[in-house]
Amino acid sequence: MNKKLIKELEKNIRVIPNFPKKGILFQDVTSITDNGELFKKVIIELSKYVKENKVSKVAGIEARGFIFGSAVATQCNLPFIPIRKKGKLPGATYSQKYKLEYGEDEIQVHKNAASTKDRILIIDDLIATGGTANAAAYLMNKFKPKELLFHFIIDLNNLGGFKKIQNKFKANSFLKSVG
């Protein structure tokens, strides 16, 4: 892991209290995308992870996972799989409902997005309780891929989601933070 990049991320991630509701410390990853050089460093580091793990497809969870996932897929010349909120994908989809730390939601993926030959990396900005990541894993496992991996920018480690994912899949994050 690039320790210099981690320190730079720690200095640059904005934390916004009481957003989207009281008691939440929102970790604002747009502070990465606002800085072109830092954003590029993050994409390069994630791309190294893709190559080291022989990933064949990159998936991103709506919406901030799209930012990082699509950039990594482009950098690595790989297909990108959007994992979207309900009703946003045309055609045949798999769906999964899940709970958030502040509500409920549902995500979907196209039924032809992957195959048993794929090694899929799912990227998202952060993991909190693990509801979204677990739902994404459920969806992607419908394809019975060779391997399913995760990478997050931030692990809100006091909420325990990363440990749940790490017990089942290879997972990584740049930062550990209190949410």
CA-CA distances (angstroms) from residue 92 to 111, 112, 113?
Answer: 6, 8, 10
- Burial status of residue 103 (CB atoms within 10 A of its CB: 0-12, 13-18, 19 or more): exposed
Whether residue 84 lies in the annotated active site: no
Place of tokens 């990363």: 162
State pLDDT tens for residues 54-92: 999 999 999 999 999 999 999 999 999 999 999 999 999
119 is a catalytic site residue: no
pLDDT digits (tens, 9 = 90+) for 86-141: 999 999 999 999 876 667 889 999 999 999 999 999 999 999 889 999 999 999 99
pLDDT score of 23: 83
Catalytic residue among 64, 84, 104, 147: 64
Mean local confidence (pLDDT), 41-46: 98
Map out the domains of the chain with their CATH numbers.
Answer: 3-177 (3.40.50.2020)
Q: What is the pLDDT of residue 179?
A: 56
Q: Active site residue: 101, 104, 106, 147, which one?
A: 101
